[in-house]
Structure 1
Amino acid sequence: MQKTSEDRHEYRFGDNGPKYLIRGPGCDMGVVVLQPGQSFPNHRHHQACEVFYTLSGEVCLYLEGTPHTLRAGDVLQCEPGEAHYLINNSDVPWKGVFVKSPHLQNDSHPAEPAAW
Structure 2
Amino acid sequence: MAQLPAKRNLAQIERRFGDWGPGYLVDEGDAFFGSVLLRPGDEFTNHSHARHTESFLVLRGRAELWLDRSQLVELAQGDFIGCPPGVEHFFRNTADEPFEAFFVKAPGVSGDKVDAPWTPTS
* Letter paired with 2:42: Q
Which residue in the other structure is 1:14 paired with? 18
Which residue in the other structure is 1:25 paired with? 29
SS of the aligned residue for 1:70 comes to strand
Equivalent pairs, count: 115
Over 3 Å off, 4+ runs = none
* TM-score (ref. length: structure 2): 0.89
Q: CA RMSD in A?
A: 1.2
Structure 2 distance, partners of 1:45, 1:2, is 27
Which residue in the other structure is 1:94 paired with? 99
Alignment match of 2:61 (pick from 52, 57, 61): 57
Structure 1 distance, partners of 2:22, 2:53, is 16
Structure 1 distance, partners of 2:33, 2:92, is 20
Structure 2 distance, partners of 1:8, 1:87, is 23
* TM-score (ref. length: structure 1): 0.93
The percent identity for this pair of structures is 35
* Letter paired with 1:111: A
Stretch moving more, 101-110 or 5-14:
5-14
Shift of 1:24: 2.1
Q: Which runs of 5+ in 2 are unaligned?
A: none
Where does 1:77-116 land on structure 2 (aligned, <5 Å)? 77-112=82-117, 114-116=118-120
Contact 1:2-1:22 at 8 Å conserved across structures: no
Alignment match of 2:6 (pick from 3, 7, 10): 3
| Bigger Rg over Cα | 2
Structure 2 distance, partners of 1:111, 1:18, is 17
Structure 1 distance, partners of 2:62, 2:12, is 25
Shift of 1:3: 2.4
